[in-house]
Structure 1
């Protein structure tokens, strides 16, 4: 059943990958048009909020934040989307943080939940083949563009108005959640068909085996039972097998480059020559790493097709081409940018995108969470140097999200294993994205209406101030 299920996800998603990428491109274009339509001559006033940091004390607000944060982290990391769209409104409306600080604390929660989920996923075996459950090739492909996008999003979060952020939420979150839900329905139906066929085969084989039963002499029982059985790996062996140190070192190197460059940029004057040099260096690092991995995927995919080998070079069941790689780079950049704006980890695009590329839900969730761990941690460090969140509250929320990420993964994986329904992960992904769209969409609309009633300026700040 597992082999059939693995091919199922590739077959269901392969035909609609371009449609999904085209939808994301259209959403970004709409947002860009709306941004460009704003009067560019009035860029001085804006809704830049004052910093509000409530104290960390035991009260009903902290209790609600703990419960919501735990549930959001648990289900968000299972789906591979983080849950930042739930955390930001909760921290803003319930606890009382200002919007910018809430976005920074949201990244702290995503980082903690992602880290614990990655540790848990490293202990799991691939459900279909002898391979790590985390696809490091796809992680290396998407990590640079996500990180570059997040650094852009963090900067733009200071100057972007609420109405534009709300438009982005409605376009991207609703679209990706609805498409993921549709994929989940298709997977559920196919899984049902496979389970019924398996059950029918088992029932048909029982009478045949009963008719052919023979009595075995006890003296022959021990040699028959002593036949070689497939060796089951221990938890430590599985962990070491999934832990590919070479790929992780490359990812850490990219992370370190962005961290160093970002520190230099934070110490420089905005819009100075040195400031733009650092930005260009970040773009160069992204382009070099992305092209390195993209060329590898293209060459391996082309070589296998020429040899008649239909096996995919990674978990994505598509034939890699320059056009598809460019679209993937665009989606990673867009996901990171909007993630930086909203305080999420960019997983709301990466998770559904990996499903569209043909990854099975277990691998899509594990890979998206793995990439989010790097991107969110970079944002946390940036926000720390910008003094955008209180350390005690951040540490507490990280602790809560670490526990939630581990237990959420443990519970859902057990349910999937018992029911043999990996589509449950897709439904969780879709539900979390829709919940983010609902909460942040409502909050953004209310904030925009309040600003209009107060006759506040609805445009952009000057980027260089």
Structure 2
């Protein structure tokens, strides 16, 4: 019926489509059209919509569908009534088949693995959606964001209920998220541009090297923590046999405490001498004020509403970037201002988004440094794992977050996927990076390097992932890039897998007593698995592109993924 309708529609109009070759179909026609002879009377192959399932490549999961989101270009270009295009797309959710059953099960397992590590799991989910479910890469990216969003929602619920290991305050370090997120978004913006320019084989190679190095370093840190924790547990079990050693350690500790007390006494004596000339009542009043301010701050830190000042700026920044992305558009998406890619107006809007993120980062840096100075002034008791905002680390850490942002986003080694995502949803470009992995996979180990406790770094990374995944999923939904049936089930799978993973991790932590090292080792495992799976998918992508004649050199930022895909009518 579909063939008869399309043939009758075309027979009433004289049209011609772009010629193509089956061996270079991807380069000539793009990812959603086929290269075949049609309609009647046409000599040779042309780029055209499909007419039945047998014409669709990519396995049994691909079917020929009428897609209202696409219209064949010759209709509007010739003033004809628009015709909804028949495209090769993934099958509907129902009826479920073996691929769906296995895929949903593995999605729950992947979400469970990623739940306690603070890594969204995109490095596992995108290969899973492509290799098992059979989704094309342009559909795998939005659906992976939905799974990650479900996991992030579950993680937020668990982490808000968990106490900080060292102090009565939330487990999530909201200030760290506020400091890191703007520059991560900046890195993602730059990374998207590089992704469009770099060839597939180069991004695949750099991706595997980066993830392998990160996994190896994180595993080494986890083993080091594990050995220390095991040693402490053995020492506690053998306490009676180590009484002499413990006595010596206690004596040493006592002498250290004595030295500290002597130093403190000397400092106090010096302070007394310095304040001897001050009025005694004013000194006491100042001390009472500082004590009251410190008590009020410590009390406020126990309440979640105290951290609204850190959350609302992030929301405002995301809204502003959303607006600028809509105004600018991308190489394949429509701009609200009708700005063409590569034009001065396009570059100006791109630079404006860049400057906005830099200005926001500088303003946040200044605010956090003022907070830190105020805390020191009132005698705030910093812990060894607290991040103290100094001139050096408020410069270094945001710059490192730019690198995390460069790695964030869409599937690996697929310029087509990045362009397809940005074509469907221009604001998705803000969360798409050069290598196509979630920024959390880099920011998690980065926070460990900052000296944060693994539990705190994991919870904070999950909180940041909630922002980026929610924004990307909303954008994809608004622009029709999500399959609502699969998206709903995958969201629930991510939610269920994360809940199971969190409960299982809590059980392991209680049983093994290794509350910090196990989290670090889990991060290393997830990164290592991501390196392997993304490498496999990237290699398959490069081979497929070479087989279909896709150029493997550097590309223009405004080049479409397949020039022939837009040339339906001459």
Coarse TM-score class (shorter-chain normalised): 0.7 to 0.9
The alignment status of 1:54 with 2:91, answered yes or no, reads: yes
More helix by share: 1
SS in structure 2 of the partner of residue 129 of structure 1 = coil
Query: For the Cα contact (< 8 Å) 2:170–2:302, is it kept in 1?
Result: no
**Residues 353-392 of structure 1: pairs in structure 2 closer than 5 A:** 353-392=446-485
Q: Distance in 2 between matches of 1:327 and 1:391?
A: 41
The CA deviation at 1:107 is 1.6
The CA deviation at 1:344 is 3.7
**Residues 244-283 of structure 1: pairs in structure 2 closer than 5 A:** 244-266=307-329, 267-268=334-335, 269=339, 270-283=341-354
Unaligned runs of 5+ in 1: 1-44, 206-236
Query: For the Cα contact (< 8 Å) 1:336–1:346, is it kept in 2?
Result: yes
Q: 1:315-374: per-residue Cα shift (whole Å, max 9, x none)?
A: 33x77333x434322332222232124354311100000111111110010000101111
The CA deviation at 1:151 is 4.3
Q: 1:46 to 1:278 in 2, by over 3 A?
A: farther
**Residues 409-428 of structure 1: pairs in structure 2 closer than 5 A:** 409-421=502-514, 422-428=516-522
The answer for the alignment partner of 1:139 in structure 2 is: 177
The alignment status of 1:400 with 2:471, answered yes or no, reads: no
The alignment status of 1:71 with 2:109, answered yes or no, reads: yes
Equivalences, count: 389
Q: 1:416-460: per-residue Cα shift (whole Å, max 9, x none)?
A: 133221211111110011001001112212332343355431134
Unaligned runs of 5+ in 2: 1-26, 33-87, 244-299, 412-435, 560-570
The CA deviation at 1:288 is 2.4
Q: 1:389-442: per-residue Cα shift (whole Å, max 9, x none)?
A: 323222221121112222212221232133221211111110011001001112
The answer for the alignment partner of 1:208 in structure 2 is: none
Q: Distance in 2 between matches of 1:406 and 1:242?
A: 25
The CA deviation at 1:146 is 2.0
The CA deviation at 1:135 is 0.3
Q: 1:446 to 1:65 in 2, by over 3 A?
A: same
SS in structure 1 of the partner of residue 222 of structure 2 = helix
Q: 1:321 to 1:158 in 2, by over 3 A?
A: same
Q: Distance in 2 between matches of 1:149 and 1:363?
A: 23
Q: Distance in 2 between matches of 1:299 and 1:122?
A: 27
The alignment status of 1:291 with 2:362, answered yes or no, reads: yes
Q: Distance in 2 between matches of 1:113 and 1:345?
A: 14
Structure number with larger C-alpha Rg: 2
The answer for the alignment partner of 1:464 in structure 2 is: 558
The CA deviation at 1:96 is 1.4
Query: For the Cα contact (< 8 Å) 2:186–2:405, is it kept in 1?
Result: yes
SS in structure 1 of the partner of residue 451 of structure 2 = coil
Q: 1:103-160: per-residue Cα shift (whole Å, max 9, x none)?
A: 2221221122112101110010011222210001110011112223334545665565
Q: Distance in 2 between matches of 1:77 and 1:327?
A: 28
Q: 1:313 to 1:464 in 2, by over 3 A?
A: farther
SS in structure 2 of the partner of residue 122 of structure 1 = helix
Q: 1:285-333: per-residue Cα shift (whole Å, max 9, x none)?
A: 32222222323444566787899988369733x77333x4343223322
Q: 1:240 to 1:308 in 2, by over 3 A?
A: closer
Q: Of the candidates 326, 339, 343, which is equivalent to residue 408 of structure 2?
A: 339
Query: For the Cα contact (< 8 Å) 1:47–1:457, is it kept in 2?
Result: no
The answer for the alignment partner of 1:4 in structure 2 is: none
The alignment status of 1:451 with 2:522, answered yes or no, reads: no
**Residues 14-93 of structure 1: pairs in structure 2 closer than 5 A:** 49-50=31-32, 52-57=89-94, 58-93=96-131
Query: For the Cα contact (< 8 Å) 1:149–1:340, is it kept in 2?
Result: no
Q: Distance in 2 between matches of 1:304 and 1:252?
A: 26
The answer for the alignment partner of 2:382 in structure 1 is: 311
SS in structure 2 of the partner of residue 79 of structure 1 = coil
Q: 1:19-45: per-residue Cα shift (whole Å, max 9, x none)?
A: xxxxxxxxxxxxxxxxxxxxxxxxxx6
Q: Distance in 2 between matches of 1:326 and 1:284?
A: 17
SS in structure 2 of the partner of residue 49 of structure 1 = coil
The CA deviation at 1:188 is 0.3
Q: Distance in 2 between matches of 1:110 and 1:284?
A: 29
Q: 1:179 to 1:272 in 2, by over 3 A?
A: same
Query: For the Cα contact (< 8 Å) 1:165–1:341, is it kept in 2?
Result: no
Q: Distance in 2 between matches of 1:271 and 1:113?
A: 38
Q: TM-score, structure 2 length as denominator?
A: 0.62
The CA deviation at 1:382 is 3.3
The alignment status of 1:163 with 2:257, answered yes or no, reads: no
Q: Of the candidates 517, 523, 537, which is equivalent to residue 429 of structure 1?
A: 523
Q: Distance in 2 between matches of 1:47 and 1:339?
A: 28
More strand by share: 2
Whose RCO is larger (CA < 8 A, sep 6+)? 1
